[in-house]
Amino acid sequence: MLEVIRKNMNKFVDVLIIGSGVSGLYCGLNLRKDLNVLIVCKDKITCSNTYLAQGGISVAKGVDDIPLYIEDTLKAGRYKNDLEAVETLINESMVNVESLIEMGIAFDRNEDGSLNFTKEGAHSVNRIVHTKDNTGESAAKILIDKVKKRENISVYENTHFVDIIEKENNCIGAMLIREDEQINVYAKAVVLATGGIGGLFNNSTNQRILTGDGIASAIRHGIELKDMDYIQIHPTAFYEEGENKRKFLISESLRGEGGILTNIKGERFINELLPRDVVSEAVYNQIKETEVPYVNLDIRFLGKDYIINRFSTIYEECLKRGTDITKEFIKVSPAQHFFMGGIKVDLDSKTSMKSLYAVGETSCTGVHGANRLASNSLLEGLVFSRRAAISINNIVDYLEIKVFPVERLEKSWDELQEENKEITVRTIKEKGGKLDDKLFSYR
């Protein structure tokens, strides 16, 4: 990015979606085909946390499973969840997973053709659909393919979101930087799908580009936030020396299939399928007590053929890092993984600013409470981005594109990015978020 922005230009669309993860793409696909839609990606369209998601997508296995699924979600979230949002998530889980199947995603199935459900931490029953251990990538590829075939949807890759454009508490567009040009996009509705905050941490499983850009914009404009201190640490990231690089996630599904955690003495120290915050704390305590920066995860007893077939991605990635998980322990340590807080939204993903929606990890629907239940993230992205699209479809004909003059940017993108990070970190700390631990501190 050049330090000086050469010029600015205006562009007009019906709906602007900022972000190319599951929530942004699925929102776009659920919008009416007669609407002019622009999806903006900070990097390549494939560079999202969705692409990294391994475990799967939780889904109610039927009406009888709904009450138990609700209770599992509430318990994992320490009962800090928004009950109505949880009920919405779970009641609409089946229709959205069925939608993915209709689009062509090939979830793993049993010999009789039924879906193969797996189990992860804090789930009472097996209710997670998956494609081996690369469910997010499979879903992303399907959604990206569908988006590219939609004549009404355009995609801008390598385009930086700077800020929303606001007039009298009404979002009328956003400022972007693309190929050293400032583009002011005016729209009837804007959807923030900018992802989480993992790029702010020394150790995170997230894409490094995810630095809370949407949240920083919300802070600047006084948009209501929620649960900014709720940050999830995943207990099992592949241990590698060095900081400030993305950590490879070792999916909770390994523990769901029987994987055992032991300390360097070979002692099992925790029930591996307790909620993530509990397991993470136990792992971290072992690291402090033993002064060894990792613990061991053992799945060797599952057998080589099963491991390579069920966990092909993890097997190959660990092998690249010098560990054969069919023969050796997997060294793991905690890493920042998910942000439960964010921009406060209602059940239709509306923010406190008119014509502005937020979906996915940048939003706070309240479904996760203080700790997200495993494999509820992709589902949240599906359910609430679809609801956002339905809301926009219903009101867009009554909205107008409004233009408000915007001055040319005088700062480089790098300077603006640092401002975003500082604004977001300061706000999280003010709300009580723990960012000062050496393992997880802001870089």
Rounded Cα–Cα distance for residues 349 and 358 (Å): 6
From 23, 28, 73, 27, select the one nearest 50 (Cα to Cα). Answer: 23
From 10, 28, 48, 18, select the one nearest 151 (Cα to Cα). Answer: 28
Beta bridge partners of 379: none
Rounded Cα–Cα distance for residues 263 and 283 (Å): 8
**Torsional sign, CA 282, 284, 287, 289:** negative
How many Cα atoms are found within 13 Å in the side-chain-facing hemisphere of 136? Answer: 23
| 426 annotated active-site | no
CB-CB contact of 248 with 321 (8 Å): yes
**DSSP code, position 83:** H
CA distances in angstroms from 243 to 195, 201, 231, 315, 440, listed in the order given: 21, 9, 19, 23, 9
Point out the catalytic residue in the list 127, 276, 310, 372: 276
| Strand, helix or coil for residue 89 | helix
From 140, 175, 143, 179, select the one nearest 158 (Cα to Cα). Answer: 179
Give Cβ neighbours of residue 55 (< 8 Å, ≥ 6 apart).
118, 120, 128, 130, 133, 135, 251, 252, 253, 256, 374, 375
Q: Which amino acid is at 7?
A: K
CA distances in angstroms from 46 to 77, 138, 189, listed in the order given: 30, 11, 24
CB-CB contact of 351 with 223 (8 Å): yes
Q: Six-digit token pair at 6?
A: 């050469």
**Burial readout 412-422 (b: 16 or more C-beta within 10 A, e: otherwise):** bbeebbeebbe
Rounded Cα–Cα distance for residues 264 and 91 (Å): 43
Going through 151-200 in order, the beta strands assigned E by DSSP cover: 153-156, 159-166, 171-178, 181-192
How would DSSP label each residue in 92-128? THHHHHHHHHHHT----B-TTS-B--B--TT-SS--E
Rounded Cα–Cα distance for residues 162 and 416 (Å): 7
Task: Just list the catalytic residues.
Answer: 276
